[in-house]
C-alpha cells in the first residue's frame, strides 16, 4: 500500500503543483506542531503555489519583454526630474493607464533619461502581471516591413497585440522612408484606443513631419498618439551622461591636484 505522503507528492506533481509538492512535508509538520486545521494547511499550500506561479510568470514576461535588466525604477535618479514629472511617474507605475489604453510619450533631449524611464515603467508593469515589449522603433519598423513584404503584416500585428504595453524607443531617431512610415502608421492606428504604448522621442510634435513625411499623415499619427495620453516633457532635463562625465572629470582633476 502506498504511503499517503508519497502518493500526495505524486498527485501534486502530476497536477503540475510543484511548489505545493515541495512544501507539503514541511507544511504538514508545521501544521501538526501548531495544531492547524486541514483547511489552514491546505490554504498555506495554495498560497505557496500561487506565489510560485506568479514568480514564474513574472520571470517569463521579463524574458520576452526585451527590457534592459538594470534599467528599473530603483536605478533611476528621480531627482533629475521636476516635481510634476515625478508625480506623473509615480502615478503611471500603478498601471491603471493600461485599462484606458492611454499612451505615455516621453519627449526630451538625448541623455534625459527617457529610455531608462520607459524601461523602468515596463519592469513595474511586468511586476503587475502585464505583458510588455520594449523595442527600438527602427528595429520594429524593419520587422513590420519584412512582414508586409511577405504578406503577413496582419499576423505580425496580431503578435504585437498580445502585449498590453508596447514601448517604442526613439521614434524620431531614424528618418523613415515612405514604406517604413506606412507600416509605423499602421501600427499606431491598430493600437489606437485599444492598447497602450510608451513612446520616447527627441523630437517635439512639430518636428514629427521628419518621421512621417506627409503633413496629413503626420497630423493623423500625432492625433492618434496624443488623443489619450500622458506627455512627459523632459526637454529641460540635463543629459545624465554629460553630467556623469563632468563629475568624473572633476573627480579626476581633484585626484590629480591632491597627488
User: 128 and 72, same structural domain?
Assistant: yes
Please give the pLDDT value at position 62. Answer: 94
CATH code for the domain in which residue 82 is found: 3.40.50.300
CA 121 to each of CA 9, 114, 133, 175, 204: distance values in angstroms, whole numbers, following the listed order: 40, 11, 11, 26, 21
Write out the residue range of the structural domain in which residue 45 sits: 4-64
Residue with the bigger pLDDT between 105 and 213: it is 105
Can you tell me which residue has the cell 512544501?
23
Domain count, the chain: 2
User: 87 and 39, same structural domain?
Assistant: no
User: 225 and 194, same structural domain?
Assistant: yes
Is residue 132 assigned to a domain? Answer: yes
User: 8 and 99, same structural domain?
Assistant: no
User: 71 and 42, same structural domain?
Assistant: no
Least-confidence region, from 19-28, 172-181, 218-227, 239-248: 239-248
User: 104 and 215, same structural domain?
Assistant: yes
User: 188 and 131, same structural domain?
Assistant: yes
User: 155 and 73, same structural domain?
Assistant: yes
Instruction: Decide which of 15, 43, 64 is a domain's last residue.
Output: 64
Say which DSSP state 129 is in: T
Check: CB of residue 124 under 8 Å from CB of residue 117: no
Please give the pLDDT value at position 252. Answer: 52
User: 205 and 154, same structural domain?
Assistant: yes
218-221: list long-range contacts, CB under 8 Å, 24+ apart.
220/185, 220/189, 221/184, 221/185, 221/188
- Is it the case that residue 255 has pLDDT exceeding 80? no
Instruction: Decide which of 43, 64, 85 is a domain's last residue.
Output: 64
Percent of the chain with pLDDT over 70: 90
The band of 240, judged by pLDDT with boundaries at 50, 70 and 90, is: low
Is residue 258 assigned to a domain? Answer: no
Is residue 251 assigned to a domain? Answer: no
The band of 97, judged by pLDDT with boundaries at 50, 70 and 90, is: very high
Is residue 153 assigned to a domain? Answer: yes
CA 41 to each of CA 13, 52, 70, 136, 227: distance values in angstroms, whole numbers, following the listed order: 18, 17, 39, 48, 51
pLDDT in tens, 170-225: 998 766 678 888 899 999 999 999 999 999 999 999 888 888 888 898 899 999 99
User: 172 and 117, same structural domain?
Assistant: yes
User: 115 and 195, same structural domain?
Assistant: yes
Is residue 37 assigned to a domain? Answer: yes
Least-confidence region, from 59-63, 112-116, 125-129: 112-116
What residues contact 128, with CB distance under 8 A and at least 6 apart?
A: 94, 95
Determine the Cα angle at 217 with ends 213 and 99, to 5°: 125
User: 132 and 75, same structural domain?
Assistant: yes
Beta bridge partners of 231: 105
For the chain, what is the mean pLDDT? 86
The band of 80, judged by pLDDT with boundaries at 50, 70 and 90, is: confident
Amino acid at each position: 500500500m502506498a504511503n499517503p505522503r508519497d502518493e500526495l507528492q505524486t498527485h501534486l506533481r502530476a497536477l503540475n503543483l510543484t511548489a505545493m509538492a515541495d512544501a507539503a512535508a514541511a507544511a504538514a509538520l508545521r501544521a501538526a506542531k501548531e495544531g492547524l486545521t486541514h483547511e489552514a494547511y491546505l490554504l498555506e499550500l495554495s498560497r505557496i503555489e500561487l506565489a510560485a506561479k506568479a514568480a514564474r510568470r513574472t520571470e517569463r514576461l521579463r524574458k520576452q519583454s526585451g527590457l534592459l535588466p538594470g534599467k528599473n525604477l530603483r536605478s533611476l535618479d528621480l531627482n533629475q526630474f521636476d516635481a510634476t514629472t515625478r508625480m506623473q511617474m509615480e502615478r503611471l507605475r500603478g498601471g491603471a493607464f493600461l485599462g484606458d489604453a492611454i499612451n505615455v510619450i516621453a519627449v526630451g533631449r538625448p541623455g534625459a533619461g527617457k529610455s531608462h524611464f520607459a524601461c523602468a515603467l515596463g519592469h513595474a508593469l511586468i511586476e503587475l502581471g502585464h505583458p510588455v515589449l520594449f523595442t527600438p522603433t527602427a528595429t520594429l519598423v524593419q520587422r513590420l516591413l519584412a512582414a508586409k513584404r511577405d504578406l503577413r503584416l496582419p499576423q505580425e500585428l496580431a503578435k504585437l497585440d498580445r502585449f498590453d504595453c508596447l514601448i517604442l524607443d526613439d521614434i524620431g531617431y531614424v528618418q523613415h522612408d515612405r514604406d517604413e512610415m506606412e507600416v509605423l502608421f499602421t501600427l499606431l492606428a491598430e493600437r489606437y484606443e485599444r492598447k497602450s504604448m510608451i513612446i520616447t522621442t527627441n523630437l517635439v510634435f512639430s518636428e514629427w513631419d521628419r518621421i512621417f513625411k506627409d503633413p496629413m499623415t503626420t497630423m493623423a499619427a500625432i492625433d492618434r498618439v496624443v488623443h489619450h495620453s500622458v506627455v512627459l516633457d523632459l526637454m529641460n532635463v540635463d543629459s545624465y551622461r554629460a553630467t556623469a562625465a563632468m563629475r568624473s572629470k572633476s573627480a579626476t582633476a581633484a585626484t590629480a591636484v591632491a597627488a
